[in-house]
Amino acid sequence: MNGLQYRDRTLAQVLCKAARQFSALVVTGPRQSGKTTLVRHLFGATHRYVSLDDPLTREQALSDPRLLLSRFPAPVILDEIQYAPDLLHYVKADIDSRRDKRGLYVLTGSQTFPLMQGTSESLAGRAAVFSLLSMSIREVAGWPDGDVQWREILLEEGPRKPRIQKLEIHDLSRAIWRGGFPEPALSDEMDARLWQASYVQTYLERDVRALRSVGDLHDFQRILLALAARTGSLLNYADLARDLGVTGKTVKAWVSLLEASGQISVLKPYHASLGKRLVKRPKVYFLDTGTLAYLLDIDSHEDVLKGMAGGPMFESAVFGQLVRLFVHRGERPRIYFWRTAAGREVDFVLEGSGGVLIPIEAKQTATPSIYHASAIEEFQRLFGRRAGKGLVVCLCRERFALTRTVDAVPLGSF
């Protein structure tokens, strides 16, 4: 991370455990999220390292993959493997020749869909696949808590009490504005807006062209801005296409591209209707609030929770931390939203073990009241025993009970 002090990541313990059980590990995620730093920190002493980002190495991986693997025999870290997906076939052959060995290959890639397709075809049953997003608030604070289960952190269920990060609103605003990518998150000397501008430009020039033939990058930048303006809102492909002057098919392809490279998440509605007419359109969120703040042209952390963008920014921050709570523990996040045709809505519905539904509201307030729990309580009445304790995530400093079935929870606590 360019001289930055290393910070432990929640995913680290999961990766070390998986390396003892699988022949290969695959770590995907957006560029600059810290994948290379993490795997080199964990496995650098035991594994050789080769990056396919280097043009000469990449050319050899494409033209003579067998020779490349002979130059860098396992155990080895193969960084940016998506540049030479056919190399996976040779990795598979090597693994199959010594199936009793574990932790032979650690593969990283910044483009989820192509890498996952190659992994599923070549390394099924041989590789454990993980995602690393930009850092969570707890990781930035130095409290990754990789040994604590998500239920213990979010619901305070279990024998261990996680350390709670109590953030002042000023500090939380800074964390949201700077985002979780290690360079702007960990260095106050880094100009966050300048870093994000460079990141977006690099992303457009490299990942967009690698994943899809986009004729006009200016149009693609327009969709980035349009999606940022709609963060936390229902995603209407037809309306978005009309506003941008492109086809609905093109919009869907671009949205899929942004998902593939870990920039956005399209959140689906929860469909158990219980007699209620529910919306069917998804919602869209940017996964890093620093990138979102840049696209929304928010100049400073003092302004990140103000004005029209304040609510959507805070909601995006809550969503991003919920996603990381699962993804960085090697688990698939089962997160939805619930909204009736009449407009009654719960921001997030988390499906836990046994089908228990945990309703969560994001409220940009430091003084939550019973009123802020009303949608959650309606959800709990409708779903009965399937509904668990509800949470109102807000700017309060301490966790406390709002009602008998709903707690107020500070964002920094998870």
Superfamily (CATH H level) for 11-131: P-loop containing nucleotide triphosphate hydrolases (3.40.50.300)
With cut-offs at 50, 70 and 90, classify the pLDDT of residue 249. Answer: confident
Give pLDDT, residue 65. Answer: 95
* pLDDT tier, 413 (very low <50, low <70, confident <90, very high otherwise): confident
Question: Which has the closest alpha carbon to 18: 98, 119, 121, 127?
Answer: 127
For residue 300, the model assigns a pLDDT of 93
pLDDT of residue 334: 94
pLDDT on residue 357: 96
Q: How many CA atoms lie within 13 A of 22 on its CB side?
A: 21
288-317, pLDDT tens digit by residue?
Answer: 999 999 999 999 999 999 989 999 999 999
Mean pLDDT of the chain: 90
Residue 157 has which token pair?
């269920």
Q: What pLDDT is recorded for position 27?
A: 95
pLDDT reading at 37 higher than 90? yes
Of 279-288, 323-332, 340-349, 376-385, which gets the smallest average pLDDT?
A: 340-349
Q: ∠ CA(3), CA(7), CA(11), 5° rounding?
A: 130
Q: Which tokens go with 22?
A: 């699988």
- The tens digit of pLDDT for each residue in 76-89 reads 999 999 888 889 99
pTM of the model: 0.93
pLDDT over 80 at 217, yes or no: no
What is the model's pLDDT at position 67?
96
Residue 274 has pLDDT above 60, yes or no: no
Distance CA 135, CA 290 (A): 11
Asked if residue 391 has pLDDT above 90, the reply is yes
Residue 272 has pLDDT above 70, yes or no: no
pLDDT of residue 96: 94
Other CB atoms within 10 A of residue 342 CB: 9
Q: What is the pLDDT of residues 173-206, one digit of tens each?
A: 999 999 999 999 999 899 999 999 999 988 877 7
pLDDT mean over 52-68 = 95
More confident residue, 122 or 372: 372
Give the Cα separation of 244 and 132 in Å (integer): 32
What are the residue ranges spanned by the domains of the chain? 11-131, 137-413
pLDDT of residue 367: 95
